[in-house]
Amino acid sequence: MSEQEEQIINYDKSKEYWEKVEATNSGMLGNITYVSLSDIQFNANFLKQIFKLKPSPGRNRCIDCGCGIGRITKNLLIHEFKKVDLLEQDAKFCEKARETFKNCDQLGEIFNIGLQDFNCETMPKYDLFWIQWVLLYLPDDDLVEFFLKISKCLDTNGIIIVKENVTKGNEAVYDTEDASVTRTISAFKDIFKRANLRIVKDMKQTNFPKDLFPVHIFALRPIIK
């Protein structure tokens, strides 16, 4: 962990920040709910392209990591997979998700833990990991370790989807309010390499306001040695 990461990225502080956020789409999106439709439409198109890969991932089970109240699961993932698990460290977000999906046959397990506490020994195999707008709360070394762990939980032809903000310049941007870091694309690529992952597809989100951070989505697979 760099000195700046040590000073700013803090699991307890980010947890405290999100404990104060309401369990609504507005809370999940920082009051910019108008980006949700473009986000979901873009994700759906990207996922269609992923299913066209050869070999393609299965559609049996996926997991939405850092899912909040389950916005992406509700609007996309439950329509594409037989079972969707949720992973979220905030208890009230998990409770809201349980309420939302109480009559949904596609809902699998809800894991009330943070990404840093992911234990591959106790998890099922997944065709796909969906990870969006949550990796900014993990320092580099912990993020590499997280990727190494979830790679062990991938089923045959499984894939990891990462969608995150990236900086417009060549330096990381730190936020002391929620204890997060917005990385450069090159930083992400270095982390993927360290975690023995290769990029099989990379796209930039379109139809987002220009005053926001650029957003990139990556499809990743472990490098077979």
Edge to edge, the sheet with strand 83-87 lists 107-111, 83-87, 61-65, 126-132, 154-165, 215-222, 197-204
Phi, psi of 31 (to 5 degrees): 70, 15
61 labeled part of a ligand binding site: no
70 labeled part of a ligand binding site: no
197 labeled part of a ligand binding site: no
49 labeled part of a ligand binding site: no
115 labeled part of a ligand binding site: yes
Q: Inform me whether the pLDDT recorded for 1 exceeds 60.
A: no
Tens digit of each residue's pLDDT (9 = 90 or more) over 90-110: 999 999 999 999 999 999 999
Task: Give the largest Cα separation in the chain, rounded.
Answer: 47
Domain ranges of the chain: 11-222
Model confidence band, residue 6 (pLDDT cutoffs 50, 70, 90): low
Tens digit of each residue's pLDDT (9 = 90 or more) over 178-213: 999 999 999 999 999 999 999 999 999 999 999 999
Q: Inform me whether the pLDDT recorded for 30 exceeds 70.
A: yes
Q: Which fold has domain 11-222?
A: Rossmann fold (3.40.50)
Q: What is the pTM of this model?
A: 0.96
What's the distance, CA 163 to chain centroid?
6
- What is the pLDDT, as a whole number, of residue 224? 83
Sign of CA dihedral 166, 168, 171, 176: negative
Tens digit of each residue's pLDDT (9 = 90 or more) over 72-96: 999 999 999 999 999 999 999 999 9
